[in-house]
Amino acid sequence: MTISGAMQSAVAGLKAGAKAVGSISANISNSQTVGYKRSFASMVTTTGGLASGSGVKAVVGAEVSTQGSMTSTSSATDLAISGDGFFVVSKNPNDPVMSNYFLTRAGSFTPDENGYLKNAAGYYLSAFSMQDDGTLGGVDYNSYNSLTSVNVKQTGVTAEASGSASVTGNLPAGDTGTGAVTAPFISTMPYVNALGGTEYLTISWQASDTTSNLWTATVTSEDGTTFGTMEVSFSDSGSTPGAPATYAFTADPGLVAPSAFSVDANGNMSLTIDNGTTPQNITISFGAPGSYAGLTQFAGDYTPQTYDVDGTEVTTMASAEIDDKGVVWGIYENGDRKALYQIPLATPRNPDGMKLINGNAYVLTQDSGAMVLNLANAGSAGSLSSYQLEASNTDIAQEMTDMIQVQRSYSSNAKVITTADEMLQETTNLKR
């Protein structure tokens, strides 16, 4: 190697050292950045021919797949991943441009003025929307096409009409077949109409004065419409004494369509209530014959009926919670919970091959390979935790040690240049 070549090799060493110091500097400055993954400079030998000999260059990589420590927070929308996987984020809420979607481990999400969750870098969290029945339905796990931005401050009100109910309670066996007409037992069942308002059905239970273990229920709406009557006979012996034995019904002759009334052999009462442009259908279960799941008739006192009715009144969303499966739950003012989103975790084939961009986020490259969206704790994805953040995986002690080593190398390269300069000077002086 010539003196000039030695100087060129030393210059390459200085450039590589400067690049390495840049990585160390970035690591130290981001040691408190949520989800930051440290970078490092690997030295690679280069050759430039006989004149210049061997040189060196710094190739910067990152420890993207190395886990950072977990820190607890007081925010339900702070999220951390343990194991493999990345949050999918976008530049704008519900961004239609697929190239504006990135991957990150920075889970410090807070609602913006419109309720969309975004992290400190301004990127918006993406997830799958849940269907009304609480399931995902058909979603694309191999692209960003099925994702939507998570909103935890839905301002609209919601309501769900009642469609089914079940009844429990006890009728006193001693009131039947006495030969005397007794006063009926009256119960009221509330239900929710399509507009979220509460309406009521009245069920009047009359004991038969002539037949033991027989009761007749008359069903009436709050507007005075009588739907009809249901006769229920109860077993007085056998394997299920006190349980319903048979059901029969009679629709009221004055009932006008679309109102309707019927009872099947299993004790399911079907009502069509004319309370809107589209009538409301409700099925009320009184208990199958031979079962103690619904009404019973035993000796003793009357136990008022208890109604388990579905549907929700008008209510607004009060807060949000996120469980370990990534499901975002809306908590409503009436205490109801509804699954709104499920946050998937993106798992590239080679996370360390991704390219870092502004905002502590990554984009896929040829080296990283394609990604797959997995649900938390499923497939190759790790677990998801709320009220936690993943800290930077930078070790300050390691960075300071690396800095000393790079500084020594830099100084040595600089010394080579000054020594080579002195040698050239001596060569120049030979002609004097």
Give 62-111 pLDDT, tens digit per residue: 777 778 888 999 999 999 999 999 999 999 999 999 999 999 999 999 99
Q: Identify the pLDDT of residue 215.
A: 98
Residue 31, pLDDT score: 80
| pLDDT surpassing 90 at residue 184 | yes
Residue given tokens 């050759």 in the structure block: 47
Mean pLDDT score across all residues of the chain:
89
Q: Model confidence over 317-357: pLDDT tens digits?
A: 888 999 989 999 988 887 788 899 999 999 999 998 899 89
Residue 192 has pLDDT above 60, yes or no: yes
- Read off the amino acid at residue 390: E
Task: Measure Cα distances from 37 to 33, 42, 115, 249, 361 in Å.
Answer: 9, 16, 28, 71, 10
Distances (CA, A) of 209 to 174, 212, 297: 10, 8, 15
Q: Which residue has the higher pLDDT, 304 or 317?
A: 304
- Whether residue 155 has pLDDT greater than 70: no
What digits encode the pLDDT tens for the residues 112-121? 999 999 998 9
Tell me what pLDDT residue 140 has.
Answer: 94
pLDDT tier at 298, thresholds 50, 70, 90: very high
- What percentage of the chain carries pLDDT values higher than 70? 96
What's the confidence (pLDDT) of residue 385? 92
Is the CA virtual torsion 398, 400, 406, 408 positive or negative? negative
Rounded Cα distance between 360 and 347, Å, is 17
Strands 280-285 and 164-172: parallel
| pLDDT at res. 154 | 72
Confidence (pLDDT) at 36: 81
Contact 143, 346 (CB under 8 A): no
The answer on pLDDT for 189 being more than 60 is: yes
**What is the per-residue pLDDT for 299?**
95
Residue ranges with strand state E in 214-336:
214-221, 226-234, 244-251, 260-263, 268-273, 280-285, 295-298, 303-309, 312-315, 317-322, 327-332
341 against 429, higher pLDDT: 341
Burial class (CB in 10 A: 0-12, 13-18, 19+), 369: middle
In this model, does residue 306 exceed pLDDT 50? yes
**pTM of the full predicted structure?**
0.62
Per-residue pLDDT at 208 exceeds 90: yes
Q: What is the DSSP string of 77-128?
A: TBEEEESS-BEEEESSTT-S-GGGEEEE---B-EE-TTSBEE-TTSPEEEEE
pLDDT tens digits, one per residue of 137-150: 889 999 999 999 99
Nearest partner of 273 among 211, 212, 334, 223, judged by Cα: 223
Strand-strand pairing, 158-160 and 164-172: unpaired
- Closest by CA to 233, choosing from 284, 191, 274, 173, is 173
pLDDT of residue 328: 94
Range in 86-95, 177-186, 190-199, 411-420 the model is least confident about: 411-420
pLDDT tens profile 371-391: 999 999 888 899 999 999 988
End-to-end CA distance of the chain: 26
User: What domains appear along the chain, each with residue ranges and CATH number?
Assistant: 3-65+393-429 (no CATH), 72-152+320-390 (no CATH), 160-314 (2.60.98.20)
- Split at pLDDT 50, 70, 90, the class of 50 is very low
CB 84 within 8 A of CB 38: no
- The dihedral through the CA atoms of 417, 420, 424, 426 has a sign that is positive
Please choose, from the candidates 91, 81, 73, 32, the residue with its C-alpha nearest in 3D space to the C-alpha of residue 361: 91
The yes-or-no verdict on residue 270 having pLDDT over 90 is yes
Tokens describing residue 188: 């009221």
